[in-house]
């Protein structure tokens, strides 16, 4: 990895270059001046999914879920808690498979919730089923390298 990391802004989707050593210094977006990390999962859609997955130099952990899914709703607070524990080394995001069926189909999401870990546009690992926050953190860290 180089000295500078590319991070996609969760607010305006601009790609920012941030020195790796400054990742923990609450960096802000050069375009919209909002924080690049907010301690909460980012809601992705068809327009922002590929940009965040493909342009971010840090691993992006995506929760593929749907509003009608009971286990998905049960895991949501744990996933939000994990975001606070994993940022800024990871970006956590959610994708509503009901509203974004083409993306879910593209990745062959057959059951939800499914967590998928991406880096540099490539899927590194996948895990189906609801998990507790500590398990999400442990799983993500174990597959990021």
Verify whether residue 29 is a known catalytic residue: no
Q: Which of 14, 111, 33 is nearest to 72 (CA)?
A: 111
Verify whether residue 9 is a known catalytic residue: no
Q: Which of 9, 12, 32, 72 is catalytic?
A: 72
Q: Go through 79-97 and write b for each residue having 16 or more CB atoms within 10 A of its CB, e for each that does not.
A: bbbbbebbbbebbbbbbbb
Q: Which of 9, 12, 32, 69 is catalytic?
A: 69
Angle between helices 70-86 and 133-143 (to 10 degrees): 60
Sequence-distant (6+) residues with CB within 8 A of 137 are: 82, 85, 86
Which sequence positions are flagged as catalytic?
69, 72
């Amino acid at each position: 990895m180089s000295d500078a990391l590319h991070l996609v802004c969760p607010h305006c989707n601009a790609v920012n270059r941030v020195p790796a050593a400054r990742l923990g210094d609450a960096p802000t977006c050069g375009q919209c001046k909002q924080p690049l990390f907010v301690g909460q999962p980012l809601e992705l859609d068809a327009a922002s999914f590929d940009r965040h997955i493909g342009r971010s130099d840090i691993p992006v952990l995506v929760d593929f879920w749907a509003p009608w899914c009971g286990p998905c709703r049960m895991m949501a607070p744990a996933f939000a808690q994990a975001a606070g524990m994993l940022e800024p080394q990871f970006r956590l995001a959610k994708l509503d498979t009901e509203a974004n069926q083409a993306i879910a189909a593209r990745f062959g999401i057959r059951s939800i919730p499914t967590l998928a870990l991406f880096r540099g546009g490539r899927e590194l690992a996948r895990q189906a089923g609801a998990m507790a926050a500590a398990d999400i953190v442990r799983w993500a860290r174990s597959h990021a390298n």
